[in-house]
Amino acid sequence: MADLIPIKKVAGRPIPLRGNDVDTDRIIPARFMKAVTFEGMGRFAFYDVRFDAEGHSKGHIMDDPRFEAKGPRVAIVNKNFGCGSSREHAPQALLRWGIKAIVGESFADIFFGNCVALGIPCVSASEAKVAALMAAVEEDPAHDLVVDLETMTIAYRGKSYAIALPGGSRSQLLDGSWDATRSLLQGADAVRATAARLPYVAGFAKA
Amino acid sequence: MGKSLLDKVWQAHSVRELPSGQTQLFIGLHLIHEVTSPQAFQMMREQDLKVAFAQRTFATVDHIIPTDTRQRPYVDSQAEGMMSAIERNCREFGIRFFDGPSGHQGIVHVLGPELGLTQPGMTVACGDSHTSTHGALGAVAFGIGTSQVRDVLASQCLAIQRPRVRRIEIEGKLALGVYAKDVTLHIIRNLGVKGGVGFAYEYAGAVVEHMTMEERMTLCNMSIEGGARLGYVNPDQTTFDYVRGREFAPPAENFERAVAWWRSMASDPDAGYDDTVRLDGERIAPTVTWGINPGQAIGVDEKIPVADSFAPDDREVAEDAYEYMGFKPGAEIRGTRIDVAFIGSCTNGRISDLREAAKVARLGKVKPHVKALVVPGSEAVAKAAEAEGLPEVFRQAGFEWRLPGCSMCLAMNPDKLVGRQVCASSSNRNFKGRQGSPSGRTLLMSPAMVAAAAIEGAVADVRDMLGRK
């Protein structure tokens, strides 16, 4: 089993991905999911938003030289990011493109859970703060955005903003149990006891 | 204060509280399919994990399967690769696979209830957001990602936060030509595509009580489109009668014991809710989406709303929708020319859906410019339809009758829109590019409305065809 990797701080060049209700079909169109592995998913992130039918760039921010950077990236999004399909291919594509953390106004439930399971913090901030942050980044994107889960703040160009993250997910990231398999397996006896209490597990046979 | 079904099911399945504060939740039924499971099995191999409760996981193939022929190998080599992978994974890990030769292949959310696998009071998880469908039986059922599929395989559990509960009461009676699909589109239109985030939806009220199980499945199916990861209906006699006698239902000698437990899991009359919403069923019209998310829906006799009518949060998405769809605010949706008609999906691919569509198909012929497909939700649905002569009704009207699968709902198989085609669709998502063409356009509606649109060649009001007085 994988070692526990605590995630306390993510620093990387920011990239604003504007819009409310960005769905996972847009993040990764279904035709790119015809594979038995997540490898190579990164190049299909937001494919139809970024490229035309001939594969030419439409000048999307992810392909804008001003926002080009090496190393980890931090996406900035608006409301209900990642709605729709439960496909983990969506956060996998973003992760493999380089996105290691997401700051946004709000996230769809399943997408949020999938990100935690991959160790990608999705932290939220108010509409005004996200707007201010997006504007600051668009004006000058050449600095690292720091997401700090211990102090629950993000910092950009000397300005600090408070963020929120549900307590359970924050603990999972801080103690490394975001990869839940190990802690779930530690409860194996309790799992068997729970199963034994549920009458349907034995087909409602007389006790 | 009493407890809701969600409270009770959560408590019964709670293994322990995790150090993170989340619940370790036991999963009673785990369903898998070919798209979101292969990577999970790969992780199992890499981490040397064993399947904890192999008899509580069931597999089928639905997303990539062609609907014209089942000849192997599939023409699409990627689809063939995915099919081979799930065959191998089920074999190696000892999981029951409902493939073609089993006679039970079908869309995973049609299959679970149909086989009696889904039962009241259970927790159900599947790597698919429309797992909310199974809530129709009074189960707590929700979609998960692939890493979580691995967790359920390895431990039969998930680390998860308990949602809040919103009760949605729909009172009154639905008018002729108004179906469960219209109810769910009406709810999403009113509460928004993000209104349900963080919530489980408990559907109640006279309209829901009078619904058949299949109608309740349509209703719960689209909970996720309203942002709610799960939706459910409290189990009642309709539920018990539906489950009785199905292949995996409790055997007859244990059935009354099962019913007693199921009844005990329903919400108490004095249960507390985090929120309650009341809607008037009488005011629901046949509903059609005009935009790029399922909340952008209107009654068929309404006009496409102008940007100013939206809350600030939704205005930009509306502007985006006008441009993508090529529709003008203030224009009628009725009369919008369609190119394709699709009847099927986990939302509306069950026998009762096909019966309602067939009633309309009997009234005319598909317009020559329209390509019309009927894709049953499972082999059992196909067999039932054949027994009633429905394929013939559809064929005579000019529809193609296909083999079961997800098909054009998400177009991972060869059934796709081309270019900017407009599709009247009984599926669940009208996202940009959803039906296989990056510029394709989807209008969501009930199966009867799709049939009406196929015959008119344009969006039509099914009430007129059904003889509204």
CA B211/CA B220 separation, integer angstroms:
12
- Given an 8 Å threshold on Cβ–Cβ distance, is A184 in contact with B145? no
A179-198 pLDDT per residue, tens: 999 999 998 999 999 999 99
Mean pLDDT of B293-311: 97
Report CA-CA distances (Å) from B140 to B213, B295, B304. 16, 24, 36
Strand partners, A148: A9, A153
* Domain B287-465 listed as CATH 3.30.499.10: yes
B146-160 pLDDT per residue, tens: 999 999 999 999 999
Q: Which of A34, A168, A187 sits opposite B161 (nearest CB)?
A: A168
* Model confidence band, residue A1 (pLDDT cutoffs 50, 70, 90): low
- Other C-beta atoms within 10 Å of A154: how many? 25
B67 phi and psi angles, rounded to 5 deg: -110, 5
Q: Which of A38, A48, A199 sits opposite B261 (nearest CB)?
A: A199
Q: Which of A87, A106, A206 sits opposite B36 (nearest CB)?
A: A87
Architecture of domain B164-283: 3-Layer(aba) Sandwich (3.40)
Mean pLDDT of B201-211: 98
Task: Tell me whether residue A1 is in a domain.
Answer: no
Among B149, B157, B315, most A C-beta atoms within 10 A, so best to mutate, is: B157
Torsion angle in degrees (nearest 10) through CA of B96, B102, B104, B109:
30
Q: What's the pLDDT at A89?
A: 98
B254-293 pLDDT per residue, tens: 999 999 999 999 999 999 999 999 999 999 999 999 999 9
CA B291/CA B135 separation, integer angstroms:
27
Rounded (10°) angle between helices B146-155 and A109-117:
70
* Model confidence band, residue B314 (pLDDT cutoffs 50, 70, 90): very high
CA A28/CA B146 separation, integer angstroms:
15
The total domain count for chain A is 1
Task: Tell me whether residue A164 is in a domain.
Answer: yes
Whether the bond between B404 and the residue before it is cis, its omega within 30 degrees of 0, is no
Q: How far is B434 from chain A (nearest CA, A)?
A: 7
Mean pLDDT of B51-79: 97
Q: For residue A106, what are the domain limits? A: 9-202
Task: Tell me whether residue A97 is in a domain.
Answer: yes
CA B59/CA B41 separation, integer angstroms:
13
Which SS3 state, helix, strand or coil, does residue A114 take?
A: helix
- Given an 8 Å threshold on Cβ–Cβ distance, is B431 in contact with A23? yes
pLDDT above 60 for B424: yes
pLDDT above 70 for B71: yes
The answer to whether B86 and B96 have CB atoms below 8 angstroms apart is no
- Domains B5-160 and B164-283 equal at CATH topology level: no
Q: What's the pLDDT at A4?
A: 86
What's the distance, CA B57 to chain centroid?
20
Q: What's the pLDDT at B24?
A: 98
Mean pLDDT of B107-117: 98
CATH of domain B5-160: 3.30.499.10
Q: What's the pLDDT at A167?
A: 86
Residue with tokens 């609907």: B67
- Given an 8 Å threshold on Cβ–Cβ distance, is A171 in contact with B20? yes
DSSP string covering B215-283: HHHHHHHGGGGGT-SEEEE---HHHHHHHTT-TTSPPHHHHHHHHHHHHHHSPPTTB--SEEEEEEGGG
CA B199/CA B223 separation, integer angstroms:
10
Q: What's the pLDDT at B100?
A: 86
B186-202 burial code (b ≥16 CB/10 A, e <16): bbbbebbbbbbbbbbbb
The pLDDT mean for chain A works out to: 96
Residues from chain B that touch A173, judged by Cβ atoms under 8 A, are none
Q: What is the CATH number of the domain that holds A128?
A: 3.20.19.10
Q: How far is B314 from chain A (nearest CA, A)?
A: 8
H helices of B266-331, where?
A: 312-325
* Segment holding A162, helix H or strand E: strand A159-162
A107-137 pLDDT per residue, tens: 999 999 999 999 999 999 999 999 999 999 9
Mean pLDDT of B373-391: 98
Mean pLDDT of A146-158: 97
pLDDT above 80 for B468: no
- Chain A and chain B share a number of CB contacts under 8 A equal to 234
Residues from chain B that touch A184, judged by Cβ atoms under 8 A, are 24, 151, 154-155, 157-159
CA A145/CA A137 separation, integer angstroms:
9
Mean pLDDT of B128-148: 98
The answer to whether B208 and B170 have CB atoms below 8 angstroms apart is yes
Residue with tokens 């991905």: A17
The answer to whether B443 and B300 have CB atoms below 8 angstroms apart is no
CA A48/CA B112 separation, integer angstroms:
34
pLDDT above 90 for B34: yes
- Given an 8 Å threshold on Cβ–Cβ distance, is A113 in contact with B81? no
B391-395, Cβ contacts within 8 angstroms, sequence gap of 24 or more: B393/B358, B393/B361, B393/B362, B394/B357, B394/B358, B394/B361
The answer to whether B348 and B406 have CB atoms below 8 angstroms apart is no
Q: What is the DSSP letter of A81?
A: B
CA A102/CA A122 separation, integer angstroms:
5
- Given an 8 Å threshold on Cβ–Cβ distance, is A187 in contact with B157? yes
Task: Tell me whether residue A2 is in a domain.
Answer: no
Q: What's the pLDDT at B257?
A: 98
pLDDT above 90 for A24: yes
pLDDT above 90 for A207: no
Based on the number of CB atoms within 10 Å of its own CB, is B377 exposed (0-12), middle (13-18) or buried (19 or more)? Answer: buried
CA A182/CA A192 separation, integer angstroms:
16
What's the distance, CA B231 to chain centroid?
11
Mean pLDDT of A26-37: 96
Among chain B residues, the shortest Cα distance to A91 is held by: B145
H helices of B26-76, where?
A: 38-46
- Other C-beta atoms within 10 Å of A6: how many? 14
- Given an 8 Å threshold on Cβ–Cβ distance, is B197 in contact with A106? yes
Q: Domain locations in chain B?
A: 5-160, 164-283, 287-465
Q: How far is B278 from chain A (nearest CA, A)?
A: 24
The pLDDT mean for chain B works out to: 97
- Given an 8 Å threshold on Cβ–Cβ distance, is B145 in contact with A91? yes
CA B194/CA B167 separation, integer angstroms:
16
- Side-chain-side CA neighbours of B435 within 13 Å: the count stands at 32
Q: What's the pLDDT at B245?
A: 98
- Given an 8 Å threshold on Cβ–Cβ distance, is B18 in contact with A177? yes
Residues from chain B that touch A84, judged by Cβ atoms under 8 A, are 129, 224-225, 429, 431
Q: What's the pLDDT at A2?
A: 65
